[in-house]
Structure 1
């Protein structure tokens, strides 16, 4: 993954790798969940839903970035649905498909899954702005 695409760094980068993409259309990536992730604690054994949504939003930004001088901001989350748990040792597959991209706003549908089983989905909006 090109570290210049997202401004996020550890501990707030929730994508390990983007494996395929077609800019402006769709992107596939993943995150391995480890016991070293800051959100995994003695009392919290699964990846929180809000962080799964953030991982989808970070994935979505890859479909919008055409210029390295741009940065994407999460602008909306709609119809977010938690459909399965994500535990240490899981590979969280992330997929985002663009439904429309107009005047600096990108909208689409994100899906997170583990071993082909859905963990979360949401309609996500990203606002693109010059750095």
Structure 2
């Protein structure tokens, strides 16, 4: 097993806080290479008040953000990057294939495929029960 972080340890790496901390735990990974995390979606999420009151669906942009946060952990877990920020620079080829609703456990994975200086690219996938919900290529800038 590689990296494993609970929500408190993630908060030592990422600056995100409620209501924008979208990763509950990191279950595996290798610093600077990849990370796999989990988001347990509950009806108590604040965004469900408005998206949508009559049919709760997790916004796709928040799934992209959750994937970016997992990628951020992979990048910022490197000792030389601790204390820095990872900014989302680009979202490419995002595909939304399945709705995410309360009760879903979302498995989030980001694999860093390229890095040049402070810029990195990750191939990201979110799945629920083994079924792909979202895929995207995300570009990060470390600052």
Q: Name the TM-score class by shorter chain.
A: over 0.9
- Distance in 1, Cα, partners of 2:102 & 2:64: 17
Structure 2 residue 18 is the aligned partner of structure 1 residue 10: yes
TM-score calculated relative to the size of structure 2: 0.87
What residue is the counterpart of 1:96 in the other structure? 110
Deviation at 1:4, TM superposition (A): 1.3
Q: Which runs of 4+ in 1 moved over 6 A?
A: none
CA contact (8 A) 1:31 1:93 kept: yes
CA contact (8 A) 1:24 1:101 kept: no
Structure 2 residue 73 is the aligned partner of structure 1 residue 62: yes
What residue is the counterpart of 2:120 in the other structure? 106
- Distance in 2, Cα, partners of 1:104 & 1:44: 41
TM-score calculated relative to the size of structure 1: 0.94
Over residues 50-81 of structure 1, what are the superposed CA-to-partner deviations in whole Å (9 max), with x where a residue is unaligned? 11000001111111112322111111100000
Question: More helix by proportion, 1 or 2?
Answer: 2
Query: Gapped runs of 5+ residues in structure 2?
Result: 1-5
> How many positions carry a matched residue from both structures?
129
Tell me the C-alpha RMSD between the 2 structures: 1.0
- Distance in 2, Cα, partners of 1:5 & 1:108: 18
* Paired residues for 1:28-107 under 5 Å: 28-41=36-49, 42-65=53-76, 66=78, 67-107=81-121
Question: More strand by proportion, 1 or 2?
Answer: 1
